[in-house]
């Protein structure tokens, strides 16, 4: 089958493209911005890439056009496809019908932690010689790729609640028909497509309604929103984590220790390199999901001791003059707070300089702006890039007083960071985008 993918350079659609090639399909694709690293990965897989959405691409005559959710009505190529009545399908639907059918799908859903938890789960299965396939919205460092077919029925997928495509406003995850599901957490996000938390809970219940009686739901006991989802109706066994009397994980960031507590009171320990309560909760969920497909908890813990995290999750980008610069994907206030808290426990009383780009659609709308000061309460200084925002970042961060520095110009922001940095500091850069290459520019500024 020849598929032509519109919006091929996104993380999800790029992963679909690589999986399709590995399955023997012919793949071509286009996007508005064809640039590395995704463009290099796709061309390396033998995929022809076209810049832009010119209607000349109809001449490729693929068997079907696969439409990414970044492509909206008004796109010239999409409009031509519709006008001519040509076959098209969304990325999640094509994936489900052509690559996931008949496989044991393990889906990881939640507002936060999907990428990390899915990466942990895939690695636990890999370490158990189960050769899983996976499609993850990041690059697990243990694998070096974001997607692969695998050689067994097991397939781990990051189950995103964002909408499917211009023609299908259900969440992506309703297409995957998983047998094992992790419900990590659930709070309001994606204000550009959801009106409130209840609307998101409805989508999560759509996912729950697709699960078989022989499956398993692994749900965060600390999340009232998930309890509300399950109370709407549940036909699948539920196992809970973060349960004070059940499965939970504790640990010591400074010592790099992971401690799993079971309902029977049994305690199991492992060493690992990650930090933060959020990552320990992710680990607990991944361990229980892996056990559902036959990996004992002790074996899963051993695998986690060798888990190398995900690119752009507390990734150290360099150290200059005793100043360490990190890159992290956090952009929602809850994710910012948990990321900062994890680093704080790891570095003790050393100074943390947070550098924030409110870039996600939700943050650009200003829906969460009032929560930012509290999410940054454990940092010593906060630097915010306010370029292209539709709300006043200075006003939003005013409760932080002189601890907050806001700049509309990226170069001036970098200068301020470099001037403020002292030996022993930890500079934590948080954005869900490239942030203008700020990490390298900070490191370069520190060397001068």
Over the stretch 85-125, which tens digit does the pLDDT of each residue have? 999 999 999 999 999 999 999 999 998 889 999 999 999 99
pLDDT attached to residue 299: 96
For residue range 263-276, list pLDDT tens digits in order. 998 889 898 888 78
Q: CA–CA separation, 104 vs 170, rounded Å? A: 22
Contact 433, 357 (CB under 8 A): yes
Q: How confident is the model at residue 228 (pLDDT cuts 50, 70, 90)?
A: very high
In CATH, the number for domain 315-447 is 3.90.190.20
Q: Is the pLDDT of residue 360 over 80?
A: no
Q: CA–CA separation, 206 vs 222, rounded Å? A: 21
Q: How confident is the model at residue 370 (pLDDT cuts 50, 70, 90)?
A: confident
Nearest to 422 by CA among 312, 321, 316: 321
Q: Is the pLDDT of residue 27 over 70?
A: yes
Contact 201, 225 (CB under 8 A): yes
Q: Which residues contact 275 (CB under 8 A, 6 or more apart)?
A: 253, 314, 342, 343, 345, 346
Q: Do domains 2-93 and 102-304 have the same CATH topology?
A: no
Q: Is the pLDDT of residue 35 over 70?
A: no
Q: CA–CA separation, 198 vs 191, rounded Å? A: 12
Nearest to 104 by CA among 155, 30, 138, 50: 155
Q: Is the pLDDT of residue 443 over 90?
A: yes
Nearest to 208 by CA among 187, 228, 188: 228
Q: How confident is the model at residue 11 (pLDDT cuts 50, 70, 90)?
A: confident
Average pLDDT over residues 29-45: 81
- H/E stretch holding 88 reads strand 88-90
In CATH, the number for domain 2-93 is 3.40.50.720
The DSSP secondary-structure symbol of 310 reads: B
Query: Which two three-digit tokens encode residue 337?
Result: 């707070």
What mean pLDDT, rounded, does the chain reach?
91
pLDDT attached to residue 220: 96
**Pairing of the two strands 26-31 and 2-6:** parallel
Q: CA–CA separation, 350 vs 379, rounded Å? A: 10
Nearest to 154 by CA among 300, 289, 303, 17: 289
Residue 247 pairs with which residues in a beta bridge? 241
Q: Is the pLDDT of residue 417 over 90?
A: yes
pLDDT attached to residue 429: 94
Q: CA–CA separation, 105 vs 102, rounded Å? A: 9
Cis amide linkage into residue 127, ω under 30° from 0: no
Per residue in 163-182, is it b (16+ CB within 10 Å) or e — as a string? bbbbebebbbbbbbbbbbbb
Average pLDDT over residues 292-318: 90
For residue range 69-88, list pLDDT tens digits in order. 889 999 999 999 999 999 99
Query: Which two three-digit tokens encode residue 325?
Result: 């610069």
Q: Which residues contact 45 (CB under 8 A, 6 or more apart)?
A: 17, 18, 21, 22, 27
Q: Is the pLDDT of residue 36 over 70?
A: no
Query: Which two three-digit tokens encode residue 151?
Result: 């050689």
Nearest to 18 by CA among 33, 40, 36: 40
Q: How confident is the model at residue 190 (pLDDT cuts 50, 70, 90)?
A: low
For residue range 236-271, list pLDDT tens digits in order. 999 999 999 999 999 887 788 899 999 998 889 898
pTM: 0.81
Which range is most confident: 122-131, 397-406, 424-433? 122-131
For residue range 143-184, list pLDDT tens digits in order. 988 899 999 999 999 998 888 999 999 989 999 999 999 999
Domain boundaries, the chain: 2-93, 102-304, 315-447
Average pLDDT over residues 208-223: 96
Q: What fold is seen in the domain 102-304?
A: 3.40.1190
Query: Which two three-digit tokens encode residue 164?
Result: 């499917």
Contact 12, 20 (CB under 8 A): no
Average pLDDT over residues 403-411: 92
Q: How confident is the model at residue 62 (pLDDT cuts 50, 70, 90)?
A: very high
Q: How confident is the model at residue 37 (pLDDT cuts 50, 70, 90)?
A: low
Q: Is 352 helix (H, G, I), strand (E, B) or coil?
A: strand
Q: Is the pLDDT of residue 406 over 80?
A: yes
Q: Is 293 helix (H, G, I), strand (E, B) or coil?
A: coil
């Amino acid at each position: 089958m020849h598929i032509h993918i519109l919006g091929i350079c996104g993380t999800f659609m790029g992963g679909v493209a690589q999986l399709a090639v590995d399955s023997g399909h012919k793949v071509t694709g286009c996007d508005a911005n064809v640039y590395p690293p995704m463009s290099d990965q796709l061309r390396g897989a033998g995929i022809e890439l076209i810049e832009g959405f010119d209607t000349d691409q109809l001449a490729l005559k693929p068997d079907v056009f696969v439409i990414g959710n970044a492509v909206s009505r008004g796109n010239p190529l999409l409009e031509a496809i519709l006008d001519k009545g040509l076959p098209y399908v969304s990325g999640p639907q094509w994936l489900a019908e052509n690559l996931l059918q008949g496989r044991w799908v393990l889906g990881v859903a939640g507002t936060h932690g999907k990428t990390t938890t899915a990466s942990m789960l895939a690695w636990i299965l890999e370490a158990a010689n189960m050769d899983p396939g996976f499609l993850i919205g990041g690059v697990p460092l243990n694998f070096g790729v974001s997607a692969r077919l695998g050689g067994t029925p097991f397939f781990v997928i990051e189950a995103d609640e964002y909408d499917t495509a211009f023609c299908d406003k259900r969440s992506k995850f309703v297409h995957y028909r998983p047998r094992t599901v992790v419900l990590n957490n659930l709070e309001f996000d994606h204000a550009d497509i959801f009106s409130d938390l209840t609307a998101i809970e409805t989508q999560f219940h759509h996912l729950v309604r697709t699960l078989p009686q022989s499956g398993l739901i692994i749900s965060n006991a600390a999340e009232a929103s998930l309890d509300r989802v399950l109370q709407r109706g549940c036909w699948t066994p539920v196992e809970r984590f973060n349960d004070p009397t059940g499965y939970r994980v504790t640990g010591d960031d400074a010592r790099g220790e992971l401690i799993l507590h079971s309902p029977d009171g049994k305690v199991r320990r492992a060493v690992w390199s990650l930090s933060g309560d959020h990552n320990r909760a992710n680990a607990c969920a991944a361990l229980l999901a892996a056990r559902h497909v036959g990996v004992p908890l002790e074996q899963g813990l051993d695998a986690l001791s060798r888990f190398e995290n995900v690119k752009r999750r507390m990734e150290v980008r360099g150290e200059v003059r005793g100043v360490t610069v990190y890159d992290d994907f956090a952009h929602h206030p809850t994710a910012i707070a948990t990321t900062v808290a994890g680093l704080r426990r790891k570095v003790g009383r050393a100074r943390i300089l947070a550098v924030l780009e409110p870039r996600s659609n939700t943050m650009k709308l200003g829906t969460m702006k009032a929560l930012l000061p509290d999410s940054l309460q454990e940092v010593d200084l906060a630097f915010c890039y306010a370029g292209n925002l539709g709300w006043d970042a200075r006003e939003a961060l005013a409760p932080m007083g002189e601890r907050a520095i806001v700049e509309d110009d990226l170069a001036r922001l970098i200068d301020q960071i470099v001037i403020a940095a002292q030996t022993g500091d930890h500079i934590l850069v948080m954005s869900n985008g490239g942030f203008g290459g700020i990490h390298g520019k900070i490191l370069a500024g520190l060397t001068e």
